[in-house]
Amino acid sequence: MAANAGLDARPDNTTCVAGDRPAQDVTLGTERTFASLPAFSNPILLLQGPGDATRWFVVEQGGTVRVFDNQPAVATSRSFVDISARVRSGGEQGLLGMAFHPDFPTDPRVYLSYTNATSGLVSRVSEFRTRDGGATLDAASEVILLTVAQPETNHNGGHIAFGPDGFLYIGFGDGGSGGDPWGTIGNGQNLLTTLGKLLRIDINGSTGNVPYRIPASNPYEGNAPCNSGTGAQNCPEIYAYGLRNPWRWSFDRVSGELWLADVGQGAIEEVNRIVSGGNYGWRCFEGTSSYNSTCGPNAASSLPPVAQYSHTVGQSITGGYVYRGAAMPALAGRYVFGDFVSGRIWHIAGDTPPTLSVTAGFDSGLSIASFAQGIDGELYIVNYGGTLHRLRQGTTSGGSVASQLSATGCVLAGDPTKAAAGLVPYAPNAPFWSDGAAKERFLALPNGATMRVAADGDIEFPNGTVLMKHFRLGGRLVETRLFMRHTDGEWAGYSYQWDAQGTDATRVVGGRTATIGTQTWVFPSEAECLACHTAAAGRSLGLEIAQLNGPLLYAATGRTANQITTLNAIGMFSPAIATAPAALPALPDPFGSVGTLDQRARAYLQTNCAQCHRPNGGTPTDLDLRYTTSLAGTNGCDRPPQAGEIGLANARIIAPGAADRSVLVARVNRRDAQAMPPLASTVVDAAGVDLLTRWVNSLAGCN
């Protein structure tokens, strides 16, 4: 042991070791349910009323809604409402959507979306009421809320649903035909029409003679409503745009995220996660592929899909749900969707970063018109042929990860707030911003295994390694993360949420958000962990020579010592590091007193940005923000932004001497769809913004 080391010996670690990776594939199956019911006529939707698991409602495309008791052997259904006389049905026309008021049946209102051809083909969204406590819907009670002229019979969209905010969301296609040929830029990009859009309205009120209000947070709120489908200004009903035919979409009942499946043109089907004001590309793009460059001024703001697949595996996507049931634990937090034509079903991680190309799927053999989610969170499939089916899980194999932190072996079983004896503490010189949380970090290697230093200074870890990080807000433990290199060499991240008493933490599957005091805290999902811990950055962020070449107080001995010296002295490096720390690279603390302003700002970018913004980092830009890259070599200095100017005049990624024109600074200073980092943060790093602002303003050029 070196005389100036912080620890006397390498601790024995037999408990905190990463084993086999949990099964990544979920075997799916389907089974006919409510099999004694007669076949329905072209069913396109299945749903339950708010908080009522006793009944199911089936929407039939011709204009009727049937209701039946939620009993396995049920053999009869009854009419809930029949508006077939006013519905134009056939092809993609018909009764296409239904939504209960969130307080139904206390509030007796139900909403239907359908096509009508009384005076030219239109889409209607109408309000109806039940007058018998919810047993039936009064067809004569219709109040038409919204009417949109349809130039063609296809691409009517038609799905409607209430969001967790209590507002009614409405999806319309681009007007039909093919290629969105409407006007000079197409309807999808034209903000003067409600076609090709996802709309949001407040049904509790009116605006003049329009029987609804515009939510104050809508992107174009303040303009006159486009109640007839078009207007002279950007339509205030618009929530998101650039859609071709949003047939089915849903809200994750845990996170509130809106997942939307958009039917493709001739090559690609796509899944989107919708945000307010988002542009999802059509007709500029079909999936991630360029489609028509004559699509207006907003092409650069197009957001890529979360997932897409080619017409070699499916031809018409049907959106589903993020699974939140209990019967299929391996599916928890994963988004399930399918294809109407091929009958295939897929599932992806609840926060899959853009853009995943989907290939193989489960072949159900069904014409998947819709998925349905029961009150209990279980998923069902509506077969357009008239039958209903339940999604089930097959057998899986693989390792496991403990559901309680106290059972992982990485903390003391009797006091999970303390690391197990086999873990070694560490701290990076330039820590990552984590919404103001204080952090403690530990690493654990299997006994006999060692680390090695790669040519770029990154530290490579053996299989079985576990990295642990505690997060505290206001002194309270809120989260612990384990980052494991499993026996197959693959890394995976797992998050644990602490209980209010601080006695133990429970694993979070699929991610979630929670309110901690006045702050919204994000627990990342497994996919989000890997989205930041990129392969290009070596996965184990913060564990590189330049980050660990600094002092740390070791609680076990009470000594403060250099971390490289200590890890080297207790035999954790192989080969041992022969170079003295003074001759090794070291990042400065971005908010410390050591190093120039330029060095400290570049250290901040290295920690917070360079894991993705580097060669092969997975971003759609060629930015390279690594500490060792010259300013000119970052490909950002005095260059126009590649993903939109976000409202900045004469914007540059880094505008020397002008932080107010620098997209890099502006993105760090916001928490929306244009924010950096793009996930797992809800609080702006004010000190970081100030540091970057002073740095950019100090630059005289790009050399």
Final residue before a domain boundary, out of 525, 553, 583: 583
Give the model's pLDDT for residue 527: 62
The span from the CA of 691 to the CA of 430, in Å, is 13
Residue labelled with tokens 């329009």: 210
Q: Show which of 583, 612, 634 is a domain's final residue.
A: 583
Residue 19 lies in a domain: no
- 692 part of a folded domain: yes
Q: What percent of the chain has pLDDT over 70?
A: 97
Over residues 116-138, mean pLDDT: 97
491-522 residue pLDDT tens:
889 999 999 999 999 999 878 899 999 999 99
- Calpha distance 577→584 (Å, rounded): 10
**206 and 299 assigned to the same domain:** yes
Which pLDDT tens digit goes with each residue over 228-239?
Answer: 899 999 999 999
Task: Give pLDDT, residue 312.
Answer: 81
Examine the domain organization and report whether 486 and 536 are in the same domain.
yes
Structural domain count of the chain: 3
Nearest to 27 by CA among 374, 347, 402: 347
Residue pointed to by tokens 């035919």: 245
Q: Give the domain-ending residue among 535, 554, 583.
A: 583
| pLDDT class of 1 with cuts at 50, 70, 90 | low
602 and 532 co-located in one domain: no
| Per-residue pLDDT reduced to its tens digit, 30-69 | 999 999 999 999 999 999 999 999 999 999 999 999 999 9
Least confident range of 260-274, 329-343, 605-619: 605-619
Residue in the structure block whose two tokens are 């069913």: 43
Do 374 and 273 share a structural domain?
Answer: yes
HSE-up (13 A, CA, CB side) for residue 379: 31
Q: What is the pLDDT of residue 63?
A: 98
Strand 505-508 relative to strand 512-516, pairing: unpaired
Q: Are residues 218 and 104 in the same domain?
A: yes
Instruction: Please indicate, yes or no, whether residues 353 and 388 belong to a single structural domain of this protein.
Output: yes
Same domain, 340 and 379: yes
pLDDT at 491: 87
SS3 122: strand
What is the residue type of 198?
L
Find the domain containing 281 and state its range: 28-393
How many CB atoms neighbour CB 642 within 10 A? 15
Half-sphere exposure of 27 (CA within 13 A, CB side): 6
Confidence class for position 361, pLDDT limits 50, 70, 90 = confident
What is the rounded CA–CA span in Å between residue 315 and residue 259? 19
Per-residue pLDDT band for 21 (boundaries 50, 70, 90) equals confident
Same domain, 107 and 173: yes
297/186 same-domain check: yes
Pair (455, 561) in one structural domain: yes
Euclidean distance between the first and final Cα of the chain, in Å? 45
Between CA 389 and CA 693 the distance in angstroms is 57
Domain match, 513 and 627 both: no
Q: Is the confidence at residue 266, as pLDDT, over 90?
A: no
The residue type of 484 is M
Predicted pLDDT of residue 195: 98
* Domain assignment of residue 10, yes or no: no
In terms of domains, do 378 and 420 share one? no
